[in-house]
Structures are given as C-alpha cells and as structure tokens.
C-alpha cells in the first residue's frame, strides 16, 4: 500500500471514510516496522523508511481538512527505530507518537528478565549485551537525541506481564538472567509467556486457577517471593517488580511501578502516557481494587503532576552502578564484549558506501575496542562528499579542516641534524572541544629544527600521501578555530622557538576567508624533561 502514491491515496480515502462512519477523532499508525518485519523477524524493503514518511505527510495533508489526529506507534529499540523512521521529517506531521516502552524481555529470551525496566543496570551498557539500550530511559534518550520533542511523546505502559518456567527451582536460580523458557499460556492470553494483570491478581487472591497447566501453583500473595515497591525490594534501577514461586517466574507492572513511570513522564515533560491494553487491566474491579486499576493509577499520577524523587533520577545503564537495592543476577554467560583493533574487522564489505545515518558502515574505535557508526576510509564516502574526515564522517571536497602547521625555530641546542629526526609533538584543542594530536612533526627529507628556519608540515588534502608527522591532526576538523594546546619536545637537546607566533595552524581555505591560528610558548625553550607544556593560542585573519 505504501509503496506508491496511487495506493497511498486509495488508503487515505478509505481511512477518512472509516473515521467519519464511526465518528472517530483520528488514527494511530502501527506499522511494526518499516524496513523490518517483526514477524517473522526479517528485513523488508529498505525504502519503506521513506514510504512511511510519504504516507504520514500525505495523511496529514488530508486530515488537516477536518482536523483529525494522527499518531504512530514507535519502536522501543533504537536500532529498529533508526532503521524505520525519518523522525526529523515526520515530527511536524504527527500530533504525537506512542512509544511502545514495553516487551523489553519475554519468552523469546532463554532467561528471565524485566518486561519494562525504567533504567538499565551497570554491565548492560555495551554493544553485544542482549539488553543493550533495552530500557525506557535509553529509548527515550534516543528519541530526544533525534530532535523529537518531549511534548510529542506518550509513554507506553503495559497491563500485560511476561512469564517463564525456571530451569532450576532454587532461590539462587530465581533471579534475573536465570535460565528459563516461556510459561504456559493462561486461559485468556492464549499466548505462551503472556499473562494479564488480572491474572497476577488471580494468583494472589482467587481460590482456584481453572487452567490445568497451572494446577501446581499455590494461590495467595504470601506464597510468592516478590520484589516490589510494597516490600522495599524492587530493583533500584529497573523500578519494576517481579515474583516467583517454584518453577514460575513473572515480570509485571503494578500500581506502584506505573506511578513511577508516569512521574518519569511528568519529570521529562512528556505528552502523557498510554496503556496497552485496557482489556488486560483489572476492568471489573475485583480483589478489593477499583475498576481499571492500572488506568486509574496512570490517571492519578498524571493529574497529580509529581516528578521523580532524587533517588529515581538515573542515567544510561553503565552510569547506574550505585542504584539500590539490586535484585540478584544469575551468572549467565553472554557473548563476550566484541573488541576490534582495526577498521576492517567492523565492515563485512570494506567498500560499502555510507548512507546518511552511517548505520551501514563502521570504524574501529581502538580506545574502546568498539565498532562504531562512521566511515573508516575515503572509499566509504559518496561522490558528493568524497573525503572521510578524522571524525569518521564524509565531507565534501574542500571542507575546512586543518591542512598546515608551520613551526618557526630560533635555535636548537644539541638537536639531531639528520633528515629523520624526532621533534615537536602537539595536542590541539579547537572550538566546541574538538581535539587532535600530531606525531613528532617531521619532514623526513629535511632538517626541520635548525636556526632561523620555518618548517612546514602539510596535510594530505593538499596532495600527496605523506602527512609529515601530522598524525591524528591530518585533515582534522577543529571547527576552524584553536582555543588551547600543549607542546612536547620528543628529540634530543632543547628547542628554542621564535619569540612571536612560533607555531601556526592553517585550515583549508580556497576562498581566502579562514583564519590563521598561532600559539606561543610561555618559556624560552623546551626539552624532553619539560613534558607537555601549555600553549597560549589565538586566531586572526591575515
């Protein structure tokens, strides 16, 4: 339907007829997901990302006639969201998005897990961990980072729970990440591993469970080991409860965890919250609770308007080492954190051309050992932006990077006078915090540090393959400015610079409108024993 304008127009016409016939006030688009078919979990047409954008914009144009609302259901997984949506292009066309912040764990995992954790735990924050970025806060952070405003996001809250059968029935094997498989379905969910909120209450308060597959469960709240707010044992990062009895292990939401999540929405100024789904709530008001228990808790927290308590304000998973209390983990062995040492380990096809989001090409961050999105070589860049810069983004020819460093020497006492020498090493800090470091500046065919001599070190963007010791500063984007730096002498003897502007940096400047930035040394000379010495730098137009 979405692949052609003709078919989209047919759909929109029938959609408006449907809305008018039933007296609705709009539509929520729930496509899971453009570019990726959730069932059977296979990639689909990659152009559906653009098709979805066109569909949203064309619906918006048609809906504006009668003022209908347009929302869409959005993926909680940042990877799937990045693959599916052009968020910057559709943000103005929708009234809000419904962020499906649940189903982070379930029977598809072979271990227990929290179904809708508010934050992640320390250790979950590296690429390769099965729950990397799988928590509400990091989902929300992704959408904020893409420019989607908080006031256009509704937080998703589940009345569905997830159940497992534990592989081992001991307290030590009944924590989180413990070996398990999906629990039997109950009478009403008809889906393995799925339970409803009123079924949780049934386990606690009812006299019988009719389903024979649960005949061995002992009813009564005191028959379960429960980690929740009520007994003060809820995990301080996840802030969502779980319980177990014998072989059964269940992650669920209750009134207290819903309250925290809605106060999170209040704290970050979200549009509000939505629930999936109302018929799984305690809609009859049984077991001494009010009708639609979860919906009522959502509504009270929104109307109350309270935000988070200080101990409830956490960050990304690996920032949360100190949250307390911490529910027990099983010693489940996950795949080791991948460590790369070269760019070619990060791309199956080293000649791939990066797309606009850099989600199809990668480079190796050797400091972290992680493969990260970005170009690793010029061959990864398209014709319109053919140069891979030091920040691993593709730039047009002539982009304003560092192209030249000139060093003016007054004298060099005891220095090597061979063509191959050690010399000055610089660490430069540009505008907005951009930083780079050179190798020991050296023209291998010249003596660079002799009396009253200017040594010039050119970047490869000006031609040639030798960067003359520029190292990490070769063609590096310092945002056309220099705010500070350090100089280290790596050679023999001591180097004495010219008194005024001994170190000057130029940027690519085909139109003659970029500044020259020069640095002075605050002492008369520099030797290897001085270590890194601060420079004073300023930029000016010649």
Angle at 40 between CA 15 and CA 354, to 5 degrees: 85
Is it the case that residue 417 has pLDDT exceeding 90? no
Cα four-point dihedral sign 225, 231, 233, 239: positive
Is it the case that residue 467 has pLDDT exceeding 90? no
Give the residue among 101, 104, 123 at the shortest CA–CA distance from 115.
Answer: 104
Report the pLDDT value the prediction gives residue 91, as an integer from 0 to 100.
Answer: 97
Q: What burial letters (b/e) apply to 500-509, b meaning 16+ CB within 10 Å?
A: ebbbbbbbbb
Measured distance CA(110)–CA(177) in Å, rounded: 9
Measured distance CA(343)–CA(90) in Å, rounded: 34
- 290: in domain: yes
Domain boundary among 334, 362, 380: 334
Measured distance CA(256)–CA(300) in Å, rounded: 11
- 57: in domain: yes
Q: Mean pLDDT score of the chain, rounded to an integer?
A: 91
What is the mean predicted confidence (pLDDT) over 443-449?
89
DSSP code of residue 318: G
Is it the case that residue 409 has pLDDT exceeding 90? yes
Both 532 and 502 in one domain: the answer is: yes
* Most confident listed range (17-26, 415-424, 463-472, 506-515): 17-26
CATH of residue 25? 3.20.20.80
Both 192 and 258 in one domain: the answer is: yes
428 exposed, middle or buried (CB, 10 Å; 0-12, 13-18, 19+)?
Answer: buried
Both 250 and 125 in one domain: the answer is: yes
Measured distance CA(398)–CA(324) in Å, rounded: 53
What percent of the chain has a predicted confidence (pLDDT) above 90? Answer: 66
Cα four-point dihedral sign 180, 182, 184, 188: positive
Report the pLDDT value the prediction gives residue 542, as an integer from 0 to 100.
Answer: 66
Is it the case that residue 430 has pLDDT exceeding 70? yes
Both 306 and 445 in one domain: the answer is: no
Domain boundary among 334, 349, 373: 334
- Residues in contact with 101: Cβ distance below 8 Å, sequence separation at least 6, in sequence order: 76, 116, 136, 139, 140, 155, 156, 157
Domain boundary among 347, 365, 394: 394
Report the pLDDT value the prediction gives residue 125, as an integer from 0 to 100.
Answer: 85
- The answer to whether 101 and 135 are in contact (CB under 8 A) is no
Number of domains in the chain: 4
Report the pLDDT value the prediction gives residue 69, as an integer from 0 to 100.
Answer: 98
DSSP 170-222: SGGGSSBT-BEEEPPP-TTT-STTEEEHHHHHHHHH-S----GGGTTPPPSGG
- 346: in domain: yes
Least confident of 60-64, 69-73, 125-129, 294-298: 125-129
- 374: in domain: yes
Measured from the Cβ of residue 352, the count of other Cβ atoms closer than 10 Å reads 15
Determine which helix (DSSP H) or strand (DSSP E) holds 84, and give its type and residue range. Answer: helix 78-84
pLDDT in tens, 216-239: 999 999 999 999 999 999 999 999
Measured distance CA(329)–CA(130) in Å, rounded: 14
Both 110 and 29 in one domain: the answer is: no
Both 178 and 130 in one domain: the answer is: yes
Both 371 and 406 in one domain: the answer is: no
Both 144 and 81 in one domain: the answer is: no
- 253: in domain: yes
What is the mean predicted confidence (pLDDT) over 250-262?
97
Report the pLDDT value the prediction gives residue 420, as an integer from 0 to 100.
Answer: 76
Report the pLDDT value the prediction gives residue 312, as an integer from 0 to 100.
Answer: 97
What is the mean predicted confidence (pLDDT) over 200-223?
91
User: Is omega for the bond preceding 277 within 30 degrees of 0, making it cis?
Assistant: yes
What is the mean predicted confidence (pLDDT) over 242-251?
96
Please give the residue range of the domain that contains residue 343.
Answer: 338-394
pTM of the entire predicted model: 0.65
- 70: in domain: yes
- 515: in domain: yes
What is the mean predicted confidence (pLDDT) over 429-441?
88
Report the pLDDT value the prediction gives residue 356, as an integer from 0 to 100.
Answer: 79
What is the mean predicted confidence (pLDDT) over 157-185?
92
Both 208 and 355 in one domain: the answer is: no
Both 329 and 346 in one domain: the answer is: no
Both 308 and 222 in one domain: the answer is: yes
Both 442 and 494 in one domain: the answer is: yes
pLDDT in tens, 378-408: 888 887 778 887 778 887 766 788 999 999 9
- 372: in domain: yes
Report the pLDDT value the prediction gives residue 332, as an integer from 0 to 100.
Answer: 67
Angle at 276 between CA 261 and CA 191, to 5 degrees: 120
């Amino acid at each position: 339907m979405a692949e052609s304008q003709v078919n989209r127009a047919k759909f929109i016409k029938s959609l408006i007829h449907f809305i008018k016939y039933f007296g609705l006030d709009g539509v929520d688009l729930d496509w899971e997901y453009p570019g990726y078919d959730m069932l059977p979990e296979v990639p689909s047409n990659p152009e559906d990302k653009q098709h979805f954008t066109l569909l949203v914009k064309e619906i918006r144009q048609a809906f504006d006639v009668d003022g209908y609302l347009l929302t869409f259901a959005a993926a909680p997984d940042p990877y799937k969201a990045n693959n599916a949506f052009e968020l910057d292009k559709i943000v103005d066309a929708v009234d809000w998005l419904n962020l499906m912040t649940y189903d982070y764990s379930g029977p598809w995992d072979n271990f227990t897990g929290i179904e809708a954790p508010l934050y992640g735990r320390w250790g979950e924050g590296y690429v390769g961990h099965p729950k990397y970025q799988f928590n509400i806060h990091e989902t929300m952070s992704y959408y904020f980072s893409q420019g989607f405003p908080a006031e256009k996001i509704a937080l998703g809250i589940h009345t569905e729970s997830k159940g497992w059968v534990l592989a081992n029935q001991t307290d030590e094997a009944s924590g989180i990440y413990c070996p398990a498989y999906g629990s039997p379905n109950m009478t009403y969910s008809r889906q393995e591993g799925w339970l409803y909120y009123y079924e949780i209450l049934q386990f606690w308060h009812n006299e019988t469970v009719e389903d024979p597959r649960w005949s061995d469960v002992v009813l009564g709240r005191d028959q379960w080991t429960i980690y929740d707010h009520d007994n003060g044992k809820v995990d301080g990062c996840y802030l969502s409860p779980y319980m177990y009895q014998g072989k059964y292990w269940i992650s669920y939401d209750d009134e207290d965890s819903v309250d925290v999540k809605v106060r999170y929405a209040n704290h970050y100024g979200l549009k509000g919250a939505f629930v999936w789904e109302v018929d799984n709530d305690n809609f009859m008001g049984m077991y001494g609770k009010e009708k639609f228990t979860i919906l009522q808790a959502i509504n009270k927290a929104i109307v109350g308007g309270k935000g988070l308590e200080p101990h409830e304000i956490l960050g990304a998973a690996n920032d949360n080492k100190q949250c307390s209390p911490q529910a027990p983990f099983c010693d489940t062995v996950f795949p080791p954190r991948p460590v790369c040492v070269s760019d070619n380990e990060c791309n199956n096809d080293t000649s791939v051309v990066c797309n606009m989001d850099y989600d199809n090409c990668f480079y190796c961050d050797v400091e972290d050992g992680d493969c990260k999105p970005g170009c690793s070589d010029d061959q990864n860049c398209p014709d319109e932006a053919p140069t891979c810069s030091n920040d691993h983004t593709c730039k047009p020819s002539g982009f304003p990077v560092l192209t030249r460093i000139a060093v003016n020497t007054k004298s060099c006492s005891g220095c090597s006078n061979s063509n191959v020498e050690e010399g000055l090493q610089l660490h430069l800090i540009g505008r907005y915090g951009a930083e780079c470091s050179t190798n020991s500046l050296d023209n291998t065919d010249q003596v660079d540090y002799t009396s009253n001599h200017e040594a010039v070190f050119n970047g490869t963007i000006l031609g040639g393959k030798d960067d003359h010791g520029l190292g990490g500063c070769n063609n590096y984007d310092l945002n056309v400015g220099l705010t500070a730096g350090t100089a280290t002498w790596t050679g023999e003897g001591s180097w004495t610079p010219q008194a005024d502007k001994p170190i000057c940096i130029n940027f690519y400047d085909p139109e003659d409108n970029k500044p020259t930035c020069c640095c002075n040394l605050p002492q008369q000379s520099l030797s290897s024993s001085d270590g890194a010495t601060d420079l004073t730098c300023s930029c000016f137009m010649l």
